A and B are shown apart, each in its own frame.
Chain A
């Protein structure tokens, strides 16, 4: 019986805790008017998509035992550069479609740059990305202090429009996770990322190109954050200077609630996917009940605290089971 109990608790804690939490939230939500409608749930997912993209980025970076604080700035910086280039700098050369393609590439580039700085020069990534967080936000405020409210429909298409009544943003988000899942579970690179996070020296001696793979993780994180920015700009049909500002804390909350370890190498994509939905539903339920914004912040503070506690519990559980 104890062995079975252990196996069950391990299964719950390591893989399915977040889904349990989701189930509880949904059961709670059903009693709230307006929650269990298709339209509401689609809106929940729509609003969750940009956060989900950033969480994916942080997930990858935490897996290799690094950190990227600047994702929320990349989230604003990439669309801003693409939009300003499209509207002001090179309007003849860059049509809206090209700007859409350019946006994630800019994110990829800034992620790769920060990653190279941290990895090649062996500077703490926390400090490097703290600096790029400020740098990019400053650039955004400088370029579009008043924001841009008239955007070509091609640029906002992915974030704004629907296919078959479902916001395209949700498809983009799911597609991004699907690709990431294939990479993490079925691709050589994914195995190498997990190996690096678990034991970097062992990975190096096993012939893994550690530096290149780590920089790639930073770059993909930037890419994902930029896609999130593109979707958010489309959803709001505008870009403002404080787009995503302060959201990195919620990104951390989602990644850790999803079971990603701060000490590297541990985490599952399915977990962080569930965590993003959990956060979106909590927000939605508070909206529906009509809770004040200040109280909402307190609730999320509490959620973060619980997430951290659960994450530590999970580590301890895993350790205790390994011992027995």
Chain B
């Protein structure tokens, strides 16, 4: 068993050489060279899919690298047998994006899981553990009862405790923070990042690696930053000698990562608004948003996680009840209390989490296609016209190019992209006047993405309005007529097609608030 070397101050905390991770068909991390020094807070930034999270799982042993080298505190590890247990022994600890605690167990039990404070003969010293748990919580700015179950705490407190566990209980020397700030409120975020700065100064043998989507956080709290683009580390910059705009330019790059066709050669001429939303508010994330969508328009909603864009569409589809604001459809004010009511008002919704929120796994393509519209395929008694149902399913499968053995194939047998096409077919079947598409290309293979984007532009937007949310700026620029940028609960900017500002780089910077 290897042990972490005694800190010597300065020097390398960890070093990656030509580190590569291949998944079937994709290179997720490609020849990354990266050195993180002792005593620094090192930022990792890049757009979605740039390879940041995969890189973290390679360092923490959760995934095995295909080739390349990892050296922790000067010790080269054997990448073929590296795993989380060895990583822990070497002092590496990953604080994941979502805290993984046993929700019903107490806070103290969770913090000391796997490494309790022993008395003797295997009996544990509960009093000492409770005391230490309270102390750890206090370090990260929380005041709590260590006997409470973990589930009572809000996610942001759990996130802070996950960090506290790595820092003060595991006493890890290399702490990797994977988008820990995404679930924190602004005050907590500031508190935590300031704490990192203090800790790194107090114990310079340590290092912190912070993945973030926020240019501003990196600029304020990191010593150096490595930019990942297209699964490569393209630059490592000294934050003191860099500006936010310069960093943003590195992130976006000169050439778009994936060149998409422009689907909007002939901009549509929208009519009167179909839906208008006024001062919609759903705290804490959405403060106020007003916008309109007309038939024939594709509107993009962009913004970081927690910027309020999700809440805006969830309120529009009746999944959440807004605190304030008005929704009008064709000029008439409406209340939308449930998805069923939204559908009746002519709104169709494609959820973000396909498997959890949309797919009916054990059933056939026919049933998955028709589930929202059985009413129009059944007689007065509710008996289904099977012939018509099957014919319609076949028509939708042809229209959206679903690849499957036949309409009675079980949904579980389809690929992600084909499932998504079935779900889009389901949506179009109830002929909504407004489509809300939340991440329509999420988990869809590369070959299918353009097909879906083309369908949005050329089929869905023919006789309806479309609201589209996407993590990919390229997609929004390729498809939308107008992009509303959400930042901290408000629409801060509107980019219109045909204007100078309608490009990926500007959109990215606007989303970042740079």
Contact = CB atoms under 8 A, between A and B. Distances in A.
A34 B453 CA distance: 70
A182 to B, nearest CB: 7
Interface residues of B, number: 32
Given A188-B374, A191-B367, A195-B371, A205 B357 contact: yes
Contact of B363 (A182, A186, A189, A198): A198
B185 interface: no
Contact of B362 (A182, A203, A209, A266): A266
A201 interface: yes
Nearest to B366: A191
Given A205-B349, A207-B339, A209-B340, A191 B384 contact: yes
A201 B357 contact: yes
B383 A205 contact: no
A322 B386 CA distance: 26
A191 B410 CA distance: 14
Interface string A102-143: 000000000000000000000000000000000000000000
Interface string A60-91: 00000000000000000000000000000000
A206 interface: yes
Interface string A199-211: 1011111111100
B247 interface: no
A209 B337 CA distance: 13
A315 B85 CA distance: 33
B372 A322 contact: no
Given A188-B374, A266-B362, A322-B413, A204 B367 contact: no
B357 A202 contact: yes
Nearest to B385: A186
Nearest to A323: B412
Given A187-B384, A188-B382, A206 B363 contact: no
Interface in B364-397: 367, 370-372, 374-375, 378, 381-384, 386
B319 interface: yes
Among A186, A192, A265, A266, the one with the most B-chain Cβ atoms within 10 Å of its Cβ is A186
B361 interface: yes
A265 B410 CA distance: 13
Given A187-B384, A188-B375, A191-B384, A205 B363 contact: no
A187 B383 contact: yes
Interface in A205-230: 205-209
A252 interface: no
B47 interface: no
A324 to B, nearest CB: 11
A270 B359 CA distance: 26
A191 B371 contact: yes
A173 interface: no
Nearest to B341: A207
B347 to A, nearest CB: 10
A196 to B, nearest CB: 9
Interface string B208-227: 00000000000000000000
A59 interface: no
A195 B367 contact: yes
B358 A206 contact: yes
Which of A189, A192, A204, A205 has the largest count of B CB atoms less than 10 A from its CB?
A205
Contacts of B375: 188
A208 to B, nearest CB: 7
Contacts of A209: 340
A199 B319 CA distance: 16
B25 to A, nearest CB: 19
Nearest to B348: A207
A191 B196 CA distance: 54
A68 B26 CA distance: 49
Contact of A198 (B351, B360, B430): B360
B343 A195 contact: no
Please report whether the interface of chain A is mostly helix, strand, loop or mixed according to DSSP: helix
A194 interface: yes
B371 A205 contact: no
B367 A322 contact: no
Contacts of A206: 339, 358, 371-372, 426
Interface centre among B339, B343, B362 (most CB of A within 10 A): B362
B356 interface: yes
A211 to B, nearest CB: 10
Interface of B is mostly: mixed
Contacts of A191: 363, 367, 370-371, 374, 384
Contacts of A205: 317, 319, 339, 349, 351, 357-358
B378 A187 contact: yes
Given A191-B384, A205-B339, A199 B371 contact: no
Nearest to B351: A205
Contacts of B374: 188, 191-192
Interface string A291-305: 000000000000000
A194 B363 contact: yes
Given A192-B371, A209-B340, A202 B360 contact: yes
B432 to A, nearest CB: 11
B351 to A, nearest CB: 6
B384 A203 contact: no
A167 to B, nearest CB: 30
A206 B360 CA distance: 10
A188 to B, nearest CB: 4
Nearest to B358: A202
Interface string B405-426: 0000010110000000000001
Contacts of A188: 374-375, 378, 382, 384
Q: Which of A182, A188, A195, A266 has the most CB of B within 10 A?
A: A188
A319 to B, nearest CB: 10
Contacts of A187: 378, 381-384
A315 to B, nearest CB: 11
Nearest to A211: B338
Contact of B371 (A182, A186, A208, A265): A208
Given A195-B360, A202-B360, A186 B383 contact: yes
Contacts of B383: 182, 186-187
Contacts of A201: 356-357
Nearest to B362: A198
B339 A195 contact: no
A207 B349 CA distance: 10
Contacts of B381: 187
Which one of A206, A265, A266 has the greatest number of beta carbons of chain B within 10 Å?
A: A206
A189 B382 contact: yes
Nearest to A318: B362
Interface of B: 317, 319, 339-340, 343, 349, 351, 356-363, 367, 370-372, 374-375, 378, 381-384, 386, 410, 412-413, 426, 430
30 contacts: A186-B383, A186-B386, A187-B378, A187-B381, A187-B384, A188-B378, A189-B382, A191-B367, A191-B370, A191-B374, A192-B371, A192-B374, A194-B362, A195-B360, A198-B360, A199-B356, A199-B358, A199-B361, A201-B356, A202-B356, A202-B357, A202-B360, A205-B339, A205-B349, A206-B339, A206-B371, A206-B372, A207-B340, A208-B371, A322-B410
4 closest A-B pairs by CB? A188-B374, A207-B343, A198-B360, A206-B372
Given A191-B363, A191-B384, A202-B358, 12 more contacts: A187-B382, A187-B384, A189-B382, A194-B360, A195-B371, A201-B357, A203-B371, A205-B339, A207-B372, A208-B340, A265-B362, A322-B412
